[in-house]
Structure 1
Amino acid sequence: MKLIHTADWQLGKAFGRFEPEVRSALSEARFEAIDAIGRAASEHGAEHVLVAGDIFDTEGPEDRTIVQAISRMERHPCRWWLLPGNHDFVRNDGLWDRVRKRASDSLIVLSEAQPHELEPGVWLLPAPLTHRLNLDDPTDAFDAMETPGARLRIGLAHGSIRDFGSRGEAPNQLAPDRARRSNLDYLALGDWHGVLEVDARTWYSGTPETDRFKRDAPGQALLVDLEPGREPEVTSVQTGRFCWLTRDWAVNDLADFDAQCGALMSTLDPSNTLLDLSLSGITNLGDRSGILSKLENEIAHRLRYLEVHASELVGRPTPEDLATLSMEGVLGIAAAKLNARIEAGGPDAVLARRALERLFVEYSRGEAA
């Protein structure tokens, strides 16, 4: 059988660091990812979608968020198996009761650790979270779950595998060899926001719509092809719209920056890209001004979002820069004093360099006008 494994939708995520227009686009893209998952299920003949926790960003989302999620899922003919995670854990009279009141039979909330028979002989073993922090491994319960006549045993859980170099997104620890311990044909996990193969039968699907920098690829889901007696065939399916890129560039001059910038922009869809860019190097003041001006007045308008870190990009005045400013009376006197402080070093040198750079930038803007 084929199924779709996904997780960490975190619907209703606030994205508070961004301006309203960007927040709105990122929030809407998370709902659009549900449709992308549903279409992928239909395209590949998968009748079941397993969602491994954190469907919602909090245990108390707005009604609109719940209704939007349900309506998107119900557009598609597959069945959706929804596991509570650490962001949307199970509690009495809580989120999942609100979902059940509105949802059709195609949406199954897995709020109890009880096996479900997806198809004859194909059993789903869920490990829902009942608290944000669970001290015990919730997948321990798999060992005691009876699955009569099982051809396939599929686990569904949310938490961090203990042998990660990083602890994942949540402090809920899972045994790294759970698939072997509990005789699972596949273990679908949520919590880690990128696709990750733990072993041949244990995978993290990542989030279907990327939500942070350091994830260069758009969000994905996993198409899982299962058959008794063999390892699962797992294929990534792109579901996300936005790319969140992190780049660190060492820059020698404006021409060097233009080359790096051109190479990057030619490989991406700017309107669907968020870029966190760090610059370093030593240039003259004119080139530094030109670099920052291009970022502010051109690149930022092409991208969905741009964040620039330029404190390590040092602009040093050339004799020509100082000669130009020296002809401007008071500006020239100020430039000479600032340059003297830079040359002297000490605690004022950094501030003086920034002041001189700003003086040159403003002067250049005035000349351009």
Structure 2
Amino acid sequence: MPPSRLKRGMRLIHTADWQLGKPFGRFEPDVRAALTDARFEAIDAIGKAAAENVAGHVLVAGDVFDTEGPEDRTIVQAVSRMARHGCRWWLLPGNHDYARNGGLWDRVIGKAAPNITVLRHPTPVEIESGTWILPAPLTHRHNLDDPTSAFDAMETPGANLKIGLAHGSIRDFGSRGEANNQIAPDRARLSGLDYLALGDWHGTLEVDSRTWYAGTPETDRFQRDAPGQILLVDIETGHLPTVTPLRTGRFQWLKRDWRVNDFAAFEAERQTLWNEIEPSATLLQLAIAGVTSLSERIRVLEILEADVGHQLRYLEARTDDLVAQPSEEDMQVLAVEGVLGSAAQKLNALRESGSVDGVIARRALERLFVEFARGEAA
């Protein structure tokens, strides 16, 4: 491995958006617990990556915590895990955990180990001889001014390397980022930075060769397939930085749309998915559309509930667009004498009529088919 201190350069880790203490309220308690634990485990993954790659400094570009008032347990867990590792941790307040007097960061500092530094003031820090961090901590959730504009006036005597650390939007990310806290897209050039380490965008993103979003080390939403990552950054005076993404995330949050017109197509999609993932570490938001026989639709739903849903960490399946078109074989199953057979014929006729009650009839026919099959099996 290259040394942590390159000639007139440095190797470091850039990360952001840990969102420790995020509640994950949409999930059942066991899933919430697993996702919460994974966010703390990501700290250990980062510390181990720093050691393995001989990176002496970890820069965290904001939103270490999900709120500016986390529980003491969340703070203690974070601090104690960082303290286990030999690297130096530099923490920047973001829009979720902004800096204010008497707030979160006073609590963190009160519990912090010597290898943890909170950059709660816009004051440059020389972290090694000739290498300076220019921090842009946020003091409010929404800041109207560019938080990095102060970089231009920061004094960095004897600097070989200047590294900006900020949290905000190079562009409007809409609902997935903060439209406030806007940062000049050419900030690295304007302020003569060798590297600008950003947080806020939860996916790894290269803005330009000197400006990167690290993304979150543990994915937390259904927006991208990639697991959580950090960036290993080599910076040397007079050269463009070399940036290498490293996986740290345990869980993948996937969105899939399957077109299914028979059971074989469903099985093919399922097998493809299984070849790509570790089911117990996967959260899946699945939409299935198509037209199948009644018996095949029921079989698909049964496997989703009894098999796929149990193997995955979490499954959210939308199947309303998987339409059942009863086959002759389906109707023959229900072609029995008595009330049941008569009801099946009437429901099928109503389903085919295209009336407003057709959807209800379709669901009722499906329910009738399921209950009849259960009765036969008993």
Cα distance in 2 for residues equivalent to 1:178 and 1:168: 22
User: Which whole-Å deviations, capped at 9, do the CAs of 1:258-309 have from their partners, x for residues lacking one?
Assistant: 1110121122111111111100000000000011111100111111111100
Distance 1:220 1:361 in 2: 45
| 1:149 equivalenced with 2:158 (yes/no) | yes
Distance in 1, matches of 2:214 and 2:226, equals 13
Q: Offset of 1:168 from its aligned partner?
A: 4.4
Match of 2:294 in 1: 285
Q: Deviations over 1:161-212 (max 9, x none)?
A: 12x5657422221111111111110000000000000000000000000001
What is residue 90 of structure 2 aligned with on the other side?
Answer: 81
Segments of structure 2 that go 5 or more residues without pairing to the other structure are: 1-9
Quick one: structure 1 residues 286 and 140, their matched pair in 2 at CA, closer, same or farther if it must change by over 3 Å? Answer: same
Work out whether residues 122 and 152 of structure 1, in 8 Å CA contact, stay in contact via their aligned partners in 2: yes
> Residues of 2 paired with 1:137 and 1:167: CA distance?
19
Q: How many residues align?
A: 368
**Cα offset for 1:346?**
2.4
C-alpha distance in 2, partners of 1:342/1:349? 4
Candidates 45, 59, 63, aligned match of 1:50: 59
Residue 214 of structure 1 corresponds to 223
The residue matched to 1:156 in structure 2 has which SS?
strand
Per-residue CA deviation, residues 72-127 of structure 1 (Å, 9 max, x unaligned), is: 00000011000000110111111000000000221111111000001111010000
In angstroms, what is the RMSD of aligned CA positions?
1.2
Aligned pairs for 1:51-130 within 5 A: 51-130=60-139
- Judged with a 3 Å threshold, the aligned counterparts in structure 2 of structure 1 residues 25 and 64 are, in CA distance, closer, same or farther, namely same
Q: How far apart, in 2, do the equivalents of 1:108 and 1:189 lie?
A: 18
What is the Cα deviation at residue 334 of structure 1? 2.0
Question: SS of the residue aligned with 1:160?
Answer: coil
Decide whether the 8 Å contact of 1:160 with 1:167 is kept in 2: no
Q: Secondary structure at the match of 2:196?
A: strand
d(CA) in 2 for partners of 1:328, 1:134: 73
Q: Select the residue among 183, 191, 198 that pairs with 1:182.
A: 191
Determine helix, strand or coil for the equivalent of 1:266. helix
Alpha-carbon spacing, 1:93–1:291, altered in 2? closer, same or farther (3 Å)? same
| Alpha-carbon contact 1:152-1:185 (below 8 Å) kept | yes
Aligned residue in 1 for 2:269: 260
Number of the residue aligned with 1:305: 314
When residues 303 and 173 of structure 1 are mapped into structure 2, their CA distance, relative to the original with a 3 A threshold, is same
Match of 2:178 in 1: 170
Aligned residue type for 1:182: S
- Please, which moves more after superposition, 355-364 or 315-324? 355-364
Shift of 1:321: 1.4
Deviation at 1:359, TM superposition (A): 2.0
* 2:303 alignment counterpart: 294
1:331 aligns with 2:340: yes
Instruction: Name the SS for the 1:352 alignment partner.
Output: helix
Q: State whether structure 2 residue 350 is matched by structure 1 residue 341.
A: yes
Q: The residue matched to 1:91 in structure 2 has which SS? A: coil
Residue 168 to residue 263, structure 1, CA distance change in 2 (3 Å):
closer
Shift in alpha-carbon separation, 1:87–1:328, aligned structure 2, 3 A: farther
Distance 1:14 1:282 in 2: 38
Q: For 2:321, what is the secondary structure of its paired residue?
A: strand
Match for residue 144 of structure 2 among 131, 135, 139 = 135
Unaligned ranges ≥5, structure 1: none
Shifted more, 331-340 versus 103-112: the winner is 331-340
Q: Contact (CA 8 Å) 1:322, 1:332: kept in 2 or not?
A: no
One-letter code of the match for 1:358? R
| Aligned partner of residue 356 in structure 1, secondary structure | helix
**Helix, strand or coil: the match of 2:319?**
strand
Q: Secondary structure at the match of 2:305?
A: helix
* 3-state secondary structure, aligned to 1:98: helix
Q: Distance in 1 between matches of 2:243 and 2:251?
A: 23
The question of whether the paired residues in 2 share the 8 Å contact of 1:10 and 1:55 is answered with: yes
TM-score by length of 2: 0.95
Match of 2:168 among 124, 147, 159: 159
- Indicate which of 326, 330, 353 corresponds to 1:321: 330
Q: CA deviation at 1:319?
A: 2.2
1:123–1:153 CA contact under 8 A, matched in 2: yes
- Equivalents in 2 of 1:204, 1:79: separation in Å? 20
- The answer to whether the aligner puts 1:41 opposite 2:79 as a matched pair is no
